[in-house]
Amino acid sequence: MSLIMLKNLLLSPFLSFIHKDFHEIVKRMTLVDKFLFLIVHFVDKLNLWHRLPVFFGLLYLGARRRLHQQYNLINVGRTPTGVRSNPADFPYRTADGKYNDPFNEGAGSEFSFFGRNMMPVDQHEKLKKPDPMVVATKLLARRKFVDTGKQFNMIAASWIQFMVHDWIDHLEDTQQIELRAPKEVASECPLKSFKFNKTKETPTGFYEIKTGHLNMRTPWWDGSVIYGSNAEVLEKVRTFKDGKLKLSKNGLIQQDENGKIISGDVRNTWAGLLLLQALFVQEHNVVCDVFKKEYPELEDEDLYRHARLVTSAVIAKVHTIDWTVELLKTDTMLAGMRANWYGLLGKKFKDTFGHVNVGGSVFSGFVGMKKPENHGVPYSLTEEFVTVYRMHQLLPDKLQLRNIDVTPGPNKSLPLTNEIPMEELIGGKGKENLSRIGFTKQMVSMGHQACGALDLWNYPVWMRDLVAQDVDGNDRQDHIDLASLEIYRDRERSVPRYNDFRRGMLQIPISKWEDLTDNEEAIETLREVYDDDVEELDLLVGLMAEKKIEGFAISETAFFLFLVMAARRLEADRFFTSNYNEETYTKKGLEWVNTTESLKDVLNRHYPEMAEKWINSSSAFSVWDSSPEPHNPIPLYFRVPKQ
């Protein structure tokens, strides 16, 4: 009897317990993975993991992440063989992202392929089924602004755009597509029709996935949002003096003689994104000052390279243990995200004894591992990753400006002065208005304003008549309906629909609308739009409709993709693993990263009066006049979620 037959014989008693859609993939799993799947599947059936004590919740997430690392990382394109670069030749982040992976010089570089978390599902026969403008109008378009309460503020909304502009942007074709609003919704559509460029399909040279899409940004966590994704942009943003980047005297992003902003990414900007770009240019330049004082022998190029490494690591750390913790506000995720950076033994242990290399990342986290780990699949960000990061519902209709010249009220609250429509804060108008408002007032105002909730009927209507920009930041002639376009893009790029996506992520698919939501109006509208076929439900709509775990600003379905990709951004990058050391970063550089725990720390460095006067909350990503987190005497791993 063969080993495979023996494994399947052992599995056969469990097949009646396992959902029928997973029988085939489970048969292909190793014995260990079969065991892990049975545990995960059992917990999923009981909808239990987020109600478990923290330590057991972490065990569940660890088992699930291992399964995703084995079965949800798919390469697109050919992998070079027999070619190796020497990491010692590139002890710095290159302008275009090359040479991070010694075995694949192009992995994670500009114009590399988007990967996949599951096999593509061709939808070219169903690009308009149901019509994207019908879906956007009946299920996405904002009726009344719904916010996130005190959990998440406008800085948090701006931050995720800051990250997306660091990671992903599809190369477009020159061929245009036009969408026209069907009669049933035309009167409710700001645009009756609109044109946009197709996503460019590129042959992969590989038999399994024959075509793919190219990423114009470097998907590494390398700060390309301020440095650029190629040498040409990098040259524009550098001063070539003391390693620094260009910055205006008022602390905002510098503009050229034509009024164009000078930054690593200039496409589809708005005041909130420009503000964060400016803050981290300030961070880079202060790091350069510290290095010049500490290491006077360093020349301009070395100062720039070290400062970029440090600044990029600070950005990654803030996202990991600050932004994500506020997005997924539970004790389990607080423990989990800190474990990604520091390991289960925690920061104090790691600071005292260094990285424990036994057990991989378990005890000391991904950062500082002995060697990078890509699980046999060259690093990239994926098409599905792009979809779950579609979060435009976070944006409000107006920015509420605060009066920073008065004495703050209770909880450091501030009165409103006026409101500015978001249309006045995007593109060229946004740049001009930000200059008038100023860095401090803009940051404080965003800190005190809650962002939108990721729900149905909360997509900004002003984004359905939007002036989009090209890669150089020039306004395009054709306005777009972004809500409708996002539905179309997922279908065009063969991203599976909601149920197929859940199957691909080893989640039990829904069999009826009531499995998705308790909202009766939503159920009725979903039945109407999708002809009562749950298999036709678009992924983006499902993510917005799904019942959320208490404390989560996103759906569980989106979160499970985050679970594997958040780890991958750290563990596959040698500058967070084998090259995360004093030789590469300098002693002072590592100290800088290690003592930065939050965005509040970064703000304190550059605007020390800001936290003292205006931030009452524990995190700069929560609404600033909210109460700080109370002390909890129960050790984190022993806490039990509120039932």
The annotated binding site for heme b is made up of 392
User: Can you tell me whether residue 551 is helix, strand or coil?
Assistant: coil
What span, in angstroms and rounded, lies between the C-alpha atoms of 566 and 569? 6
Residue 419 belongs to what H/E stretch? strand 416-421
SS (H, E, C) 432-447: HHHHHHCHHHHHHHHH
Helices and strands in the chain, H and E counts: 26, 10
- Indicate the burial class of 594 (C-beta count within 10 angstroms; 0-12, 13-18, 19 or more): middle
Residue 202 belongs to what H/E stretch? strand 202-203
What span, in angstroms and rounded, lies between the C-alpha atoms of 575 and 596? 17
What span, in angstroms and rounded, lies between the C-alpha atoms of 618 and 230? 37
What span, in angstroms and rounded, lies between the C-alpha atoms of 445 and 443? 5
**C-beta separation of 457 from 141 below 8 A:** yes
Compute the radius of gyration of the chain from its Cα atoms: 24
165 catalytic per annotation: yes
Q: Is the dihedral of CA 305, 310, 313, 319 positive or negative?
A: negative
With CA atoms as reference, report the closest residue to 505 among 514, 497, 513.
497
**C-beta separation of 497 from 430 below 8 A:** no
Extract the annotated binding site.
392
What span, in angstroms and rounded, lies between the C-alpha atoms of 399 and 221? 29
**C-beta separation of 583 from 302 below 8 A:** no
What DSSP designation does 493 have? T
What span, in angstroms and rounded, lies between the C-alpha atoms of 259 and 432? 10
**C-beta separation of 117 from 382 below 8 A:** yes
Q: Which residues contact 500 (CB under 8 A, 6 or more apart)?
A: 118, 121, 509, 535
Q: Of 165, 284, 319, 448, which one is the catalytic site residue?
A: 165
Instruction: Reply yes or no: is the peptide bond before residue 130 cis, omega within 30 of 0.
Output: yes
Q: Catalytic residue positions?
A: 165
